[in-house]
Amino acid sequence: MDSTLLINGKKQTKLSALNRLVQFGDGLFETCLIEDARVLFWSKHFSRLKKGCDKLKIHPVSEAIWLKEIAKAFAISKLDRAVVKIILSRGESTRGYGYEKNIKPTRIIIISPVPDLPWQYELGVCSSGYVSNQLLSEIKHCNRLEQILARSELQTQECIMLDENAQVISVTQGNIFAIRNQVIFTSSLTNCGIEGTRRSVVFDLAQVLGLQLEICSLSLIKLLEADEVFITNSVIGIKPVAKINQQLFSHHQITNQLISAFARSKNNHSSSILLKSKQPYLKFIIVFLAISLLFWMYWANTIKANNSVVYQISSRDQPLFNCK
């Protein structure tokens, strides 16, 4: 397995069968991207996690603990870029849906390599979709059977998920946007769907670029009539859609503007956070080794030069011609 796992701050992979995450999917999760030792758009992830804790009444874990354990797992993984999944379980309990008020939450960190990603996506439409529930909308809870069923029928790179009113909500692993006449449209998530962090970033970028953006009920017909379509999530960022069923989308002008703005902003964004190294002495070791290497190279060159001088002196002691 290529992943690094921490459970409650310790390197391990076993979770109790009594954990409510195992029994009921009773928990929350966030999937973040680490680049240049920065958790990109961390504050947006942490804000959504807190919102989930409020909605599900799960005891929250402090931001400092999460960042400390993410840094620890990232250091162990020895990756330069990584996908980090943080999971917050309500904790352990015996059978039954009820739980004690003082139940202690379980923290899980999973660090994985960043997968290879296509430049653009082709979409289908899933028959499995969302059921409306405002208490569960927008947050990223761990009960994802709707997406699992949708992914099981996947015949393209991604597929669109509808609600019970046949309105477009998202793709299985991200949010979806349509562009028509220079206006960006995206689905309302009041009743179902996940309020993606990169969806929020697109809102920010649209404002910076002076682009009009509207949240609306988005039908499949309206989506197919769009000039451009793109999808977003925390791993892929912003990606253009080239095809939905048989409908082709060849223009990506505004999408490319957003992609360029996203690339410029992601490491400088105020919501990204630099991880503190779990091994502060590592820099000193690197500096020490570098100095030692330079000293060794200097010593080796000095010895070589001295040997050359000795050889030249010895050579002069020999006759120029060996005549008999």
For 19-35, what is each residue's pLDDT tens digit? 999 999 999 999 999 99
Helices 42-56, 197-209: crossing angle, 10 deg rounding:
130
Beta-carbon count within 10 A of 321 CB: 4
* Domain layout of the chain by residue ranges: 4-112, 121-270
pTM of the complete model beyond 0.85: no
Tell whether the model's pLDDT for residue 272 goes beyond 90: no
Q: What's the pLDDT band for 297 if we cut at 50, 70, 90?
A: confident
Q: Strand 10-11 vs strand 4-7: parallel, antiparallel, or unpaired?
A: antiparallel
Spatial separation of the C-alpha atoms in residues 26 and 105, rounded to whole Å: 10
The model's pLDDT over 45-62, given as tens digits with 9 standing for 90+, comes to: 999 999 999 999 999 999
Given the candidates 3.40.640.10, 3.30.565.10, 1.10.150.120, 3.20.10.10, the CATH classification of the domain at 121-270 is 3.20.10.10
14, two tokens: 């076993």
CB 109 within 8 A of CB 86: yes
CATH of 4-112, one of 3.30.470.10, 3.40.50.300, 3.40.50.10420, 3.30.360.10: 3.30.470.10
Confidence of residue 324 (pLDDT cuts 50, 70, 90): very low
pLDDT at 269: 63
Across the chain, what does the average pLDDT equal?
89
140, 27 Cβ separation under 8 angstroms: no
